[in-house]
Structure 1
């Protein structure tokens, strides 16, 4: 599976997670608008500095303009370095470079797949939701980022680390560990009662919607304990709407999948095998974490007056209503270079 999955890590947060995957043997391409941030990634095999970038300082529009201007080179780097069938784009939703570039880059690369310009089969995302203590701008960026991310047609699974659940670096490591545990099920877990093959892992990863994974030691593996463990995982909370596409599980202990279905919903399919060490359970095709994003939205709205006051002091523009909290308050800048006609509409979508 490591030969089939690659990662494009954008920005500093994306780079931190990407390095953990590279250390586990995956191919990783690091993209950044800051040359200084790229230099902090030790022993990285593939790095690319987005042309004209000197960091984005949480400015999503600035990041998008840089991608528009340099997309031909960025896409060439992705296709040359990622000799894989599936790519996950990693970025923090609350930052500038990753938040601005991430959804737009995914959409543009999916456009290349649809037009036959890429041999990559699917593209998913790993993103990070900011802690409540992070800045108002981080919450605004997060909400705007998810507005774009949720509107992408053809995207594969999305994993969302929730930074309110603990130490950032520890959460990153836990995400990488549990992801690797999941994709290694076909090679490590065999049982006469049933197996999960690589095609089923791939199908689970390629399903559109949120994807969450948990791991519970065998001696603690009851149905209730596995369900409860999702609430302590690195991921944003699961919506209670019972929308689900797949359950993929390697069971230990006394886990009852039929009882799980009554709690999480009836999936299109269940992929199941067994082992005697730990239960590894993946739920895929879930709805986006609306309740968590509503909390992000409320945090942003609470600070609108303060943000408006601070931005008006330097820009003189007013605040407009709606999701795009900051765009009307930013000083006007140069228009991005005209993209090629085949990508113009997608780029217009993100640049307004």
Structure 2
């Protein structure tokens, strides 16, 4: 895991870094709130932006933190990661710290870390989040998509987890999503250490894929009992829609990896042209075949995908639908006031008797008969 580093930004990013630490990745975290980062006890390297106490879901605060402290942030990242080939910045798109800091921080690090590719693990919120979270996510993802030198962007979709586990709590959804994305990345890194006479998928292959600009996803499926090339291809294609990543909705893969583990009889059924029939063959395909007695499993890495417009537009649809109401609420915050209809009654309030000193002599005279 030494070749990939995980930099968590904000609370969600810190939680991803916490899981990554247990898997052997180099990790560090950045936060504007020390209490949030303090719970990530397994992450040793931490930077808490001085003068801040959280961002309160306000992206502008996270952005300002980078503007004010970019020198310290750059130095912290340089000291935290040694000999990594790829640094993945992990964050939630709908909060304040991670969403606000990460796009600018990634853009700056691209210039400041020569020889290290920079990518992202960006968490996309569920469809039922409130307007402020949707606005944050839309702004953040737009900014990430416009960074010229960025490598793979993993869009972790909490909505995918909700479909599988509709009764789960938010905390369970977050934990499961965070763990699954790191397990997927960890697995493909572990495969690069295996050997096979049928063709190895090595670290250079993986880095060629992960250094591709655009959206990246990893899928895995068992292909037990398949009898034909068409069956195995269909099963692989269906697996792309059942990952924790945003579903594919456009054609075009620039680079891909195909890893097979299992009996040789099933390996013979795998056909790259059949697998990519629906979305088009990639520019480059890197394969690894590992014959074993385990259940036949196909893992794929698809890189250079377009940002999933249909999925992201679901975040914006309710904003558009409620545009007038939301604008009214913003205006109402600054214009709201109450005019009393009984202001005339203020003179009716009871007043204490006025005491005027007159002297003892006058009091004695007053009471003479």
Q: TM-score range by the shorter chain?
A: 0.7 to 0.9
- State the SS of the aligned residue for 2:179: helix
Write the mapping of 1:167-186 to structure 2, written as runs, cut at 5 A.
167-186=173-192
Q: 1:168 offset after TM fit, Å?
A: 2.3
Write out per-residue CA displacement over residues 220-268 of structure 1, whole angstroms, 9 at most, x where no aligned residue.
672211110111100001123x211112011243432120121221211
8 Å Cα contact 1:250-1:272 kept in structure 2: yes
8 Å Cα contact 2:154-2:215 kept in structure 1: yes
User: Size of the alignment, in residue pairs?
Assistant: 309
Write the mapping of 1:272-291 to structure 2, written as runs, cut at 5 A.
272-275=287-290, 276=292, 277=294, 278-291=297-310
Q: 1:197 offset after TM fit, Å?
A: 1.6
Aligned equivalent of 1:236: 246
1:150 equivalent in alignment to 2:138: no
Larger Rg: 2
8 Å Cα contact 1:181-1:280 kept in structure 2: no
1:251 equivalent in alignment to 2:263: no
Q: Give the whole-Å Cα distance in 1 for the aligned partners of 2:284 and 2:79.
A: 35
1:140 equivalent in alignment to 2:135: yes
Aligned equivalent of 2:282: 267
Q: 1:191 offset after TM fit, Å?
A: 2.7
1:307 equivalent in alignment to 2:326: yes
Write out per-residue CA displacement over residues 281-306 of structure 1, whole angstroms, 9 at most, x where no aligned residue.
11111111111111111132233334
Q: Which runs of 5+ in 1 are unaligned?
A: 113-117, 318-352
8 Å Cα contact 2:22-2:42 kept in structure 1: no
Q: Which runs of 5+ in 2 are unaligned?
A: 162-172, 227-231, 337-369
Q: Give the whole-Å Cα distance in 2 for the aligned partners of 1:37 and 1:301.
A: 33
8 Å Cα contact 1:86-1:120 kept in structure 2: no
Q: Give the whole-Å Cα distance in 2 for the aligned partners of 1:85 and 1:192.
A: 27
Q: Give the whole-Å Cα distance in 1 for the aligned partners of 2:249 and 2:89.
A: 23
Output the aligned Cα RMSD: 1.7
Q: Give the whole-Å Cα distance in 2 for the aligned partners of 1:32 and 1:315.
A: 31
8 Å Cα contact 2:123-2:156 kept in structure 1: yes
8 Å Cα contact 1:87-1:120 kept in structure 2: no
Q: 1:273 offset after TM fit, Å?
A: 1.4
- State the SS of the aligned residue for 2:277: helix
Q: Give the whole-Å Cα distance in 1 for the aligned partners of 2:285 and 2:42.
A: 40
Q: Give the whole-Å Cα distance in 2 for the aligned partners of 1:282 and 1:43.
A: 29
Aligned equivalent of 1:73: 72
